[in-house]
Amino acid sequence: MRALQWTGPETVAVNEIPVPDIGPGDLLIKVGAAGICHSDLTLVNFPYKIREDPLTLGHEVAGTIAAVGADVVGREVGERGVVYLFWTCGICRECVSGNENVCLAAGRVAMPPCPGLTEEGGMAEYVRIPASTFVPIGDLDFLQAAPVADAALTAYHAIRGAKEALRPGGTALAIGIGGLGHVAVQILRAISGVRVIAVDIAQEKLDLAAECGADLGILSGDDTAQQLLDLTGGRGVDAVFDFVGVDATAKLAVETVAPNGAYRMVGIGGGVPEITAGPAGGPAWPWGATVRKSLGGTRSDLYACVALAQAGKLHMEIERFDLEDGPEALQRLDKGQIRGRAVLVP
């Protein structure tokens, strides 16, 4: 089969490799579509070897069951679904509490095993998955479904975790209107009554935010923080969702989050927020505000996102590429030239 693989520092290639074998607890998925996430780019752009062997990319996968492992119950060939991206132990205290994204087996700061980032991924004709990670999608289009598995899931989890701060009449800020951000705007519209403001460095991304239901778009500049404070009567933004995560966006979040507000770091740009324990009155972090570095989502969140998509409340803006054109799609994402999500079809 053909697979888009990381083959070494800053190199990818479409290679011919064997169709994976499956174990007794696995499913073989015939891939219908696989989204390209900025995290794929981060991995590809690492200047060092992540491992010796090539790695098939792809953690945002939709497809059809092509084979069922001997011990799997309740699944059959032909079912359509998406793949939950954390392949966790399933038995630790966090997993059984529904917090699989912080599975104990992953350790303190690591991410649980994930196809395309640590395991063989789904930018290929077929992918092997643990049967427990299959979530049915009914007749949802594969191109629409694939980005649900990460772009929607991760945005939904960050938003759900900030629900205390998202009261009708309040304001939410989405920074970075790419694959994740454009879905976040729609999720905020679908599940809360807040005013939604979008910030990006590119006007066309703000146009996309407006199409997704944002009330206002602000082109990022020197006075963005002041504009946001003016728009919120000086109080600040109730929830800031940062889908970039560089120093500049961390600074914007710190300068604009409201008292008792929520700041959610989703983008992994290595930004360092300067949060100080100073007294009230100064430029310090406001009283009561919370910070969370938000990772992916839970399986239950994925069911919720599939339901929102099936109900027509999420529309993925996608650019379709053949698997062979994956390297070009990655380059375009690197240049900020993808509108919404790039999705590969094998």
Site for ligand NAD (CB under 6 A): which residue of 190, 202, 284, 345? 202
150 touching Zn ion, by CB under 5 A: yes
Of Zn ion, ligand NAD, none, which one does residue 220 interact with (CB within 5 to 8 Å by kind)? Answer: ligand NAD
Cα separations (Å) of 281 from 155, 233, 254, 261, 338?
A: 33, 16, 15, 17, 42
Residue with tokens 């053949």: 322
Nearest distance from C-beta of residue 285 to ligand NAD, angstroms = 21
Buried b (16+ CB within 10 A) or exposed e, 244-275: bbbeebbbbbbbbbbeebbbbbbbebebebee
Judged by CB under 5 A, the stretch of 30-38, 184-192, 254-262, 280-288 that binds Zn ion is 30-38
Q: Which is nearer to ligand NAD, 81 or 176 (CB)?
A: 176
Of ligand NAD, Zn ion, none, which one does residue 179 interact with (CB within 5 to 8 Å by kind)? Answer: ligand NAD
224 touching ligand NAD, by CB under 6 A: no
| Strand partners of residue 320 | 343
Q: Which of 283, 242, 238, 232 is nearest to 264 (CA)?
A: 242
Site for ligand NAD (CB under 6 A): which residue of 20, 81, 176, 217? 176
Nearest distance from C-beta of residue 178 to ligand NAD, angstroms = 2
- In the chain, the amino acid numbered 185 is V
| Residues near 332 by beta carbon (within 8 Å), at least 6 away in sequence | 338, 342
Q: Which is nearer to ligand NAD, 37 or 231 (CB)?
A: 37
294 neighbors 265 (Cβ within 8 angstroms): yes
Site for ligand NAD (CB under 6 A): which residue of 7, 15, 99, 220? 220
- Which is it for the CA torsion 129, 133, 94, 260, positive or negative? positive
Judged by CB under 5 A, the stretch of 36-44, 107-115, 164-172, 245-253 that binds Zn ion is 36-44
By CB under 6 A, the residues from 265 to 324 that bind ligand NAD are: 266-269, 294-296
Of Zn ion, ligand NAD, none, which one does residue 261 interact with (CB within 5 to 8 Å by kind)? Answer: none
178 touching ligand NAD, by CB under 6 A: yes
199 neighbors 220 (Cβ within 8 angstroms): yes
Q: How far apart are CA 81 and CA 306, in angstroms?
A: 9
Site for Zn ion (CB under 5 A): which residue of 5, 36, 39, 170? 39
Residue with tokens 């992953």: 106
Judged by CB under 6 A, the stretch of 31-39, 65-73, 136-144, 309-317 that binds ligand NAD is 31-39
Nearest distance from C-beta of residue 102 to ligand NAD, angstroms = 11
How many DSSP H helices and E strands does the chain contain?
Answer: 10, 16
Site for ligand NAD (CB under 6 A): which residue of 4, 124, 165, 333? 333
Nearest distance from C-beta of residue 287 to ligand NAD, angstroms = 26
Judged on CB neighbours under 10 Å (0-12, 13-18, 19+), 126 is: buried
Buried b (16+ CB within 10 A) or exposed e, 169-195: ebbbbbbbbbbbbbbbbbbbbebbebb
Site for ligand NAD (CB under 6 A): which residue of 245, 261, 273, 346? 245
According to DSSP, the β-strands at 55-56 and 2-8 are antiparallel
By CB under 6 A, the residues from 75 to 134 that bind ligand NAD are: none
Q: Which is nearer to ligand NAD, 152 or 166 (CB)?
A: 152
Binding site for ligand NAD (CB under 6 A): 37-39, 42, 150, 154, 175-181, 199-202, 205, 220, 243-246, 248-249, 266-269, 294-296, 333, 336
Binding site for Zn ion (CB under 5 A): 37, 39, 150
